Amino acid sequence: MKLAILGTGFIVKEGALTALKDVPEIETTAIFSRPKSKSVAEALAADYSIPNVYTDYDELLADPDIDFVYVGLINSVHYEYTKKALLAGKNVIVEKPFASAAAEVRELRDLALARHLYVFEAVTIHYLPNFYAIREFLPKLGTIRAVVANYSQYSSRYDKYLQGEVLPAFDPQRSGGALYDINIYNLNFIIGLFGAPESVNYTANLGFNGIDTSGVAALTYPGFFALAIGAKDTASPGYITIQGEKGWIRVTGAPNELRSFETHLLGTGVTTHNELNRYPHRMVHEFQEFAKMFHEKDYDRMAKGLDVSVAVLETAETARKQVGIAFPCDGQAK
């Protein structure tokens, strides 16, 4: 599996390239950047022994030595770069959020299925052993009554935002905000386990440019509710709790990492601590799973993952529009 990396930002430097060192079944054959960042791309290519550096996306897509592209760019261009890759016959791994609008995700899903190409959304938690174990334990809790997920991390860019400098993380023109950046992990966890909610109601703290700096999405399901709390303007310990009539599950730590979780069944007096992830870097497992699905031609599993991506973006889009957050993409996708 030969991969081209798009981007030179944090998620590429500290995320994808670092994780890929532990995934020998994927060979990184190229890296792409805008012309102004070419020197950064060249430095990364030297550090990670990447043979080719591109600043022209069309030239990269014409390279026959590339099976996949990894879209590690800002949120607002995920749709554009993914669609262009699919039309060029390349498979795609696209960072979360998949796109800015639900219609865009549906279009990309349909395009990939029509051309029998692979497209994966890089939502780490769905491929972690801890997530699989939580899903397996879930029926033991009996009837679920409440789920709460909190991922609150003070953004390194928030101080500049308070001074009036708007970087992509807080820019509605770049599909930023707490919901699409940090709370999207909570939505993926909840919807990944329970499916699409019956309804969503979003309450948010809005900044001077109308972006959500923090917020809580209340999801309703038959017989229970789920709360997804995400903040970039404050910090708190991350956690997830799932409460059933026969017991509970508690994830300790940031929801995007799922480093450990506890389980407890009522009446047993026993709480079990679990740490099943095999690698310290949270992204290793997902790249391994992507390579496995590609090599084993497990197209059905890939397609099921796209159903989750669609449900998450439908929920997120509904939520942001409830508080008046408009993205440039609104109404543009088919």
Q: Which CATH class is domain 129-276?
A: alpha beta
CA atoms within 13 A on the CB side of 41: 21
CA atoms within 13 A on the CB side of 18: 13
Q: Which CATH architecture has domain 2-120?
A: 3-Layer(aba) Sandwich (3.40)
Q: What is the pTM of this model?
A: 0.96
pLDDT tens track for 207-258? 999 999 999 999 999 999 999 999 999 999 999 999 999 999 999 999 999 9
Residue 46 CB: number of other CB atoms within 10 A? 10
Helix axes 299-322, 102-115, angle to 10 degrees: 170
> Edge-to-edge strands of the sheet including 239-244?
199-206, 212-221, 224-231, 144-152, 239-244, 247-252, 260-265, 271-274
Domain boundaries, the chain: 2-120, 129-276
Burial class (CB in 10 A: 0-12, 13-18, 19+), 177: buried
Is-same-fold flag (2-120; 129-276)? no
> Edge-to-edge strands of the sheet including 68-71?
52-54, 27-32, 2-6, 68-71, 91-95, 119-122
- Residue 273 pairs in a beta bridge with 262
- Residue 167 pairs in a beta bridge with none
Q: Decide: 261 and 189 in contact? Cβ < 8 Å.
A: no
- Residue 190: what are its φ and ψ, rounded to 5°? -65, -50
pLDDT tens track for 113-153? 999 999 999 999 999 999 999 999 999 999 999 999 999 99
